[in-house]
Structure 1
């Protein structure tokens, strides 16, 4: 869709060249949502392409994902065999249920910043203990866990003019054994519940609930809990008002499926590791 109110497109090549943020500005990365509907309040786009951030880089302690990394680039990452949680990348990328055109354009950062409950990059990065770096308008930086970055349906901690720079995934999280469950009302529908569980080398079980709730919910246990303890923890941590309500699923059904999928994850992680 043409954005016929835009009068300027800025193309900074470094952080120092980022223009002063004003009302009517918008960041442009993939633009798959930005160009999908009228944006009559916008006057200027700030194109992040020329910043040329490396899409993916593997360091000594973390995998760094640039906010401008596309879904296709993330899915194509060649993961070391010791990354037992690597299949989560494929599963979450395919939870988009999007065409190859969207895969090549939509960005990881854009999915996080849209902050939709069903955003699969939120599910992936939150479950893997991702920490995002935010560029502040005063030149500083803020680091915050992805699970805390998203605060509700299409809500997050970003203030006007702040920019999501990258997401760091600890390598230790990528080495955890994991289990994935996702359900939709229809075979090709938006996720109504997407849960990811994992077991650390110390035996700590972590469960991340997304899509069924307005924001990510994470629960950890010293070991694999009993079925009743897991259920009680979910009932305590997720009040009924936190379950999302839209055409893709009613809160009561989402709650039921969250409890059911969580128990499936518990049973899978309790079993022997797959070779």
Structure 2
């Protein structure tokens, strides 16, 4: 879509003062999908030269905000990452066209803050931390689970930039389980639940996305039984936190969340103990 309100496109490397009507341009797959009447100037991140994916000295993974879904999918995952299958599972949850696959960015998916954003699901479930850069040069870190605060709502100040997301080595080494549902074959996720087991202390984390307006995590120091899990879901997710749109009614999303969480509990606790 043509953005006929945009009068200028600037290179982000020039570090010009942020103005009302400015917007960061990454892959642009959302930005150009519908009118952006408030946008007057695009600040293009395309030439920043950020390395898409970097494995740190301690084994964690830094994902640049400009990393595309294709780059994340094709990145060779180390053998010691038990959570490696989760990357492709979340990438494929896009059900995107070739064009979107090669242009959409991880950072853009997070900054849209949509409940069905699978990069939100992936990075939240693996205890990802966002690195945010302000216009003043200040730096702050925010867990992905706290970065998205509602449907389309993020913890971002005007002009603040998501630079990268870091996944700790400990989370990458843990076993995971993935469940996702849509109302129809090529539909947007209506419920997406991920379970992760800490490789050191065995803590089980259930991360709920798509069915809720924000990522919600439930942590269990000891393996829960079915009753304990259900009680945690009932008290951990308020009725108003289930998303309501054309892709699924709250009651259906709640039902699928409870069903998937129980399937994951059995897969990661009961079946593992056999």
Provide the residue aligned with 1:42 in structure 2: 39
2:25 is aligned with 1:23: no
2:144 is aligned with 1:141: no
How far the C-alpha of 1:5 sits from its partner, in A, is 2.0
Unaligned residue ranges in structure 2 (runs of 5+): none
Provide the residue aligned with 1:77 in structure 2: 75
SS at match of 1:196: strand
How far the C-alpha of 1:273 sits from its partner, in A, is 4.8
Which whole-Å CA distance do the structure 2 matches of 1:192 and 1:272 have between them?
A: 27
Conservation of the 8 A alpha-carbon contact between 1:127 and 1:197: yes
Provide the residue aligned with 2:3 in structure 1: 3
Unaligned residue ranges in structure 1 (runs of 5+): none
Which whole-Å CA distance do the structure 1 matches of 2:129 and 2:80 have between them?
A: 21
**Aligned length in residues:** 271
Provide the residue aligned with 2:85 in structure 1: 87
How far the C-alpha of 1:203 sits from its partner, in A, is 1.1
Equivalence map 1:106-255=2 (5 Å): 106-201=104-199, 202-255=201-254
Which whole-Å CA distance do the structure 2 matches of 1:210 and 1:60 have between them?
A: 30
SS at match of 1:104: helix
Which whole-Å CA distance do the structure 1 matches of 2:7 and 2:63 have between them?
A: 31
How far the C-alpha of 1:36 sits from its partner, in A, is 1.1
Which whole-Å CA distance do the structure 2 matches of 1:172 and 1:75 have between them?
A: 20
Alpha-carbon displacement from aligned partner over 1:226-249 (angstroms, at most 9, x marks no partner) = 100000001001011100000111
- Greater mean alpha carbon deviation, residues 78-87 or residues 32-41: 32-41
Which whole-Å CA distance do the structure 1 matches of 2:157 and 2:214 have between them?
A: 18
How far the C-alpha of 1:39 sits from its partner, in A, is 1.8
SS at match of 1:164: strand
- Is the alpha carbon distance of 1:108 and 1:157 closer, same or farther for their aligned partners in structure 2, counting shifts above 3 Å? same
Conservation of the 8 A alpha-carbon contact between 1:177 and 1:273: no
What CA RMSD, in Å, does the superposition of the two structures yield over aligned residues?
1.2
TM-score of the two chains, using structure 1 as the length reference: 0.96
How far the C-alpha of 1:19 sits from its partner, in A, is 1.5
Which whole-Å CA distance do the structure 1 matches of 2:270 and 2:185 have between them?
A: 28
How far the C-alpha of 1:137 sits from its partner, in A, is 1.8
